[in-house]
Structure formats: structure tokens, C-alpha cells
Amino acid sequence: VRKSKAETARTREAIVSASADLIRSRGIGGTSLAEMMAAAGLTHGGFYRHFTDKEELVSEALRAAGDKVVAIIRRNLHKGGLPAAIETYLSVSHRDAQTPICPFAALGSELGRGARKSKAVATDVLGTLLTDLARARPNRKKARQQAIATLSTLVGAMTLARIVADAGLSDEILESAKDHLLE
Amino acid sequence: VRKSKAETARTREAIVSASADLIRSRGIGGTSLAEMMAAAGLTHGGFYRHFTDKEELVSEALRAAGDKVVAIIRRNLHKGGLPAAIETYLSVSHRDAQTPICPFAALGSELGRGARKSKAVATDVLGTLLTDLARARPNRKKARQQAIATLSTLVGAMTLARIVADAGLSDEILESAKDHLLE
DNA sequence: TGTACATCAGTGAACGCGCGTTCACTGATGTAC
DNA sequence: TGTACATCAGTGAACGCGCGTTCACTGATGTAC
């Protein structure tokens, strides 16, 4: 059942897009090829018509996920400046989202031990995010250092808030990090 | 080849201790029961004489790892105050360590999707860490909020520094987070 | 204190299962003339 | 423009492998008398 070139391209994008959501919600190791294909409405056998191996799909899915965070952060920065971006990122709804926004918080420790391709993509996305956050700072000299500290706090707070079994403590982590960053 | 009660207890501790190191270096999903048993000098078959399942060993290993970080942070706080703890945590040697010190940075995203037992242990360890860090703050009112922000920044910066494929950017993340926290 | 028996730590083989990957097959698409 | 053939997206079965878990077996330890 061969498909047209246009349809093949659309199918590939659908697999990448569905996988971007899946890996952020279940992790890279926790998501199988069959699940990623099924999420795009396909069976697992056709996978290798689009990708050379799992690592290739994961790195492309990571790029798609990265583009989404960047877009969301940018939109928030434009609308309400740094405070808006911080409040959106550290919101309870982001913490509890079935599909988390941020791949760094969702996949952080897994990416640290991950494949080269994925790390290269993550590095690129991180660079873009830091540039955007630095632009939102008045003090040009310290802008980049502040951007790095802010992003570290955001990712760390979200990671810890998701680990914690105590709902009150989890909320407190988000609130404290938010208050600290908005001061 | 039955062993004495004392020796059995020592064996169990050895498995937990070896596993605490293994899961921090390879992740929970990336470490098999056979590897954890082998690290303690045993074959995998005897596993169930000591634990009911993998989850039980992982949560105990997490406790052991947590106790170690708490001890290291405490030692640093007593010797050189908050600055010493921050510099040790965000050091290049901690980033590159074969066995990372901090289970939150090493297993963060995995724990977020992890089992209840592990999350409960992580919550407990986190609470201890926050109490210790808050005690190192002069301003009593804001001490806890600052402790949470500091730990978030530490964990986030280490996570990001390990993800990044660019060595220069990785170093910059550690330095910037350090400078920010020491101001 | 000595003897007889029950217990159980540890081994190594085996289990069922899900995984990433491969493959024969299908039929619509793309291409050469 | 029409025809004949090559291409290839997608299916579903099959592969080898490593995993967590189970089990029969061993022999030293623990216990009851």
C-alpha cells in the first residue's frame, strides 16, 4: 500500500510529533517503538521506512519537543515578560500535565546518560532558550549568567516538585522557586 | 550453602550499597537485577532471598544514596558553610563522577515517573536536605524559601550540565549557577 | 554437649514477556518509454 | 496520453535478546531434644 510522497512526509511528521508527546510523558526508555507508531495510527513494522533506528526518532522527537517549549517561553516573554514565563513554567498545571511542556524537566537525567544525537539536539535547544531568557534581562552584563541561573532553578524546581510524594511540599517547592525568581 | 545471620545481613547491605552506586551511574531502568547482584559478588538467583522485588531494592538503594548526599552536604556546611556545599555540589568532578553524589540530579526525571516507595524515600531525603540548607541561612523568615530555591538551582544546573554536549557550555552552566548562588 | 532434622543463602537453569529489529508480502504510487 | 514495470509505505509474523521472576538443588547454619 504505497503512499504518495506528500502523504509519506505527513506520516513521518505525525510519528515525530506523537513521539515528542509520548517520551515527555513516559520517558525515553519507557516508550517503545510500537507505542510511538501506534500513537500515529500505524503498526510497528513500518517504522524502518522512516527512521534508521530508535535513536534517530528520539532525537527528532526531542527537537520537536524543544521547538514547542521555545515557542511557549517566547510567547510568554512577549506577552508578560519574564514573570509570565516563570509563572507558566512553574504552574501546578505544568507539573501535573499528562504531557509535560519541558523536555529538560521531563527527561533530564535520562538525557544525561543518553545518546550523542539527543544530547546535541538538547544542547541546541538549551542555547536558544538561554538566548531568549537573556534578552528578557535589563542588565546586559549579567544577563546570560542570570538566564542560566533562572533556567537551572526552573528545571530543578519542576524536577523536584514531580519527585515529591507529598502534595503540600510539592506545591511549596513551586511557590518558593517562583517567589525567589520573581524577587 | 546457607550463611550465618550476621553474614546474611552483611550481604544484604552490600547489595544495597552496590546498587546505590549503580543506579546513580546508569539509572534505575538502566540497571538490571543481575548487575546489582554481580556488583555485590553474587549471582542473580539469590536476589529473592533478600528482597521481594526490584522496587524494594531500588527504594532501599535510594535511601542509602540519600543518606550519603545528606552526609556530604552536612560535612561541607559544617566545614565551610553554604559556599563550601555549593562549590562541592557544582564542581566539575561531581558532574563527571562515574558515580554521581546526588540521586536527585542523577535520577530526577526517572523518579518523577517512579514507584510510590521510591518517591516516599526521595521525599524524606529532600526534607532532610532542605532542613539542613535552611539552617545555614541567617534570615530565619526566608530561610526555607531560600533553601528550596538553592536546592532547585543546584539540581537543575547539574542536570543541565550533564545533558549538554558542549563542554564549554557545560562548564559555563556550573560557573554561572555557582556565581549566582554565592552572591 | 551431642545428635537429628529443619531452615534457608546462594547457584544456575529455566520461564514468559516485551523489546528493537528484520522480512516476505500487498498494492498503490512513481517513472520510463 | 497510455502502458508496463519498478519502487516502496505499511502490515503482521518472526527473530534473538535481555529482563524480572521462579525453581530444584546444595550444603552450611540454626534449633529441638
The pLDDT tens digits for A114-169 are 999 999 999 999 999 999 999 999 999 999 999 999 999 999 999 999 999 999 99
> What are the CA-CA distances from residue B111 to residues A9, B13, B115, B169 (Å)?
36, 22, 8, 26
Contact B43, B65 (CB under 8 A): no
Determine if strand C comes within 7 Å of the CB of B3.
yes
Nearest CA in chain A to B127: A169
Which nucleotide, over all strands, has the C1' atom closest to the CA of A37?
D10
Of the pLDDT bands very low, low, confident and very high (cuts 50, 70, 90), residue A111 is very high
Determine if strand C comes within 7 Å of the CB of A53.
yes
Q: What is the pLDDT of residue B16?
A: 98
The pLDDT tens digits for A29-76 are 999 999 999 999 999 999 999 999 999 999 999 999 999 999 999 999
Q: Indicate if the pLDDT at residue A87 is higher than 90.
A: yes
Q: Which residues contact B141 (CB under 8 A, 6 or more apart)?
A: none
Pairwise CA distance, residues B20 & B61, whole Å = 4
The pLDDT tens digits for B111-120 are 999 999 999 9
Pairwise CA distance, residues B164 & A119, whole Å = 6
Pairwise CA distance, residues B57 & B60, whole Å = 5
Contact B119 A30 (CB under 8 A): no
Task: Summarize the confidence of residues B40-61 as an average pLDDT.
Answer: 98
C-alpha cell at B177: 549557577
Other beta carbons less than 10 A from residue A53's beta carbon? 11
The pLDDT tens digits for B134-151 are 999 999 999 999 999 999
Determine if strand C comes within 7 Å of the CB of A48.
yes
Chain centroid, CA B111 distance in Å: 11
Q: Which residues contact A72 (CB under 8 A, 6 or more apart)?
A: A88, A101
Mean pLDDT of chain A: 97
C-alpha cell at B144: 526555607
CA of A8 to C1' of D2 (A): 27
- Tell me, what DSSP letter sits at residue B3? -
Q: What one-letter code names the amino acid at A106? A: A
Contact B34, B44 (CB under 8 A): yes
Tell me which residues from 43 to 72 on chain B have a beta carbon below 7 angstroms from nucleic acid strand C. 43-46, 49-50
Q: What is the pLDDT of residue A1?
A: 86
Residue to mutate among A104, A109, A158, with most B CBs inside 10 A, is A109
Size of interface A-B (CB pairs under 8 A): 162
Contact A159 B120 (CB under 8 A): no
pTM: 0.96
Determine if strand C comes within 7 Å of the CB of A3.
yes
Contact A108 B160 (CB under 8 A): yes
The pLDDT tens digits for B64-105 are 999 999 999 999 999 999 999 999 999 999 999 999 999 999
Chain centroid, CA B166 distance in Å: 24
Q: Indicate if the pLDDT at residue B1 is higher than 90.
A: no
Look at residue B42 and give its three-state secondary structure: coil
Taking the CA of residue A40 and the nearest CA in chain B, the distance in Å comes to 23
Contact A73, A129 (CB under 8 A): yes
Nearest to A39 by CA among A16, A62, A8, A9: A16
Nearest to A100 by CA among A20, A167, A38, A173: A20
Q: Which residues contact A50 (CB under 8 A, 6 or more apart)?
A: A8, A11, A12, A15, A57
Nearest CA in chain B to A164: B123
Pairwise CA distance, residues B150 & B179, whole Å = 12
Nearest CB partner across the interface for B148, out of A154, A166, A176 = A176
> What are the CA-CA distances from residue B82 to residues A108, A156, A177, B53, B137 (Å)?
25, 18, 18, 39, 8
| pLDDT over 90, % of chain A | 97
